[in-house]
Amino acid sequence: MSTHALALDVYGTLVDPLEVKHKLQGLVGEQAEELAAVWRQKQLEYSFRRGLMDLYEDFSVCTAQALDYAQDHCGVSLAAEERQQLLEQYQELAPFPDVIPALETFAAQGYKKVAFSNGHPDQVRQLLSYGGVLAHLDGVISVHEVEVFKPAPRVYQYLLDQLGTPGDRTWLVSSNPFDVIGAKAAGLRAAWVKRAPGALFDPWGIEPDLVVADLKELAQRLGT
């Protein structure tokens, strides 16, 4: 086996952040899907901007500020209690159905498996415990200790340092193209989990080593 460490992104890869649209439907009706999408888009944008500006704040700050923007964008006003419920919903996202079976296969194949996230480590553990995923992982590695977000190069070096593995024996697994490109640029191997058939990969000339539809397919591909 040529690799032995898998670093799995959390939001969008292990759990679906757009799942909050179901909670939103009871609050904002037909605007739920748009609000959820804008919320996620701005959450990531704010992490990128904070990284460039050296104005690090916990990822939960990016999430809360992005929700406030999304409200304004969609022309809705949530009560303080409703807003807090939505933020708490981010800690209660269910894993995609392929996640736990794939993690069991990765374990049988001998891979070390960690969650690798922009989120605060305590919040990531809480989230993954809620969905029953944490017990199938060997640990959680967060950018919080580095105080900059993906795709900054030093977060991937921090990952390698924590794992104790070289880049060519470490896979970054993510549904987020920016994460895959960041990992490849830092010398890791990377698999893009193309969960949506219509998803596009950024045309930077930096390609993933593997493209898979879900984690079960990745386990099959890595096992061959």
Residue 1 reports pLDDT greater than 80: no
Indicate the pLDDT class of residue 19, thresholds 50, 70 and 90: confident
Q: CA 111 to CA 188: how far, in whole Å?
A: 16
Contact 191, 208 (CB under 8 A): yes
Compute the average pLDDT of residues 3-26: 89
* Average pLDDT of the segment spanning 25-48: 92
> What band does 3 get if pLDDT is binned at 50, 70 and 90?
low
Choice among 9, 98, 179, 214 that is catalytic: 9
CA 19: distance to chain centroid?
A: 14
9 is known as an active-site residue: yes
The pTM of the full predicted model, rounded to 2 decimals, is 0.94
30 versus 149: the higher-pLDDT residue is 149
pLDDT level of residue 22 (50, 70, 90 thresholds):
confident
Q: Which of 22-31, 69-78, 97-106, 168-177 has the lowest mean pLDDT?
A: 22-31
Hey, what domains does the chain have and what are their CATH numbers? 5-15+93-222 (3.40.50.1000), 17-89 (1.10.150.240)
Sheet holding 112-117, edge to edge: 139-142, 112-117, 5-8, 170-174, 189-193, 210-212
21 pLDDT band (50/70/90 cuts)? confident
**Tens digit of each residue's pLDDT (9 = 90 or more) over 190-202:** 999 999 999 999 9
- SS3 of residue 121 by DSSP: helix
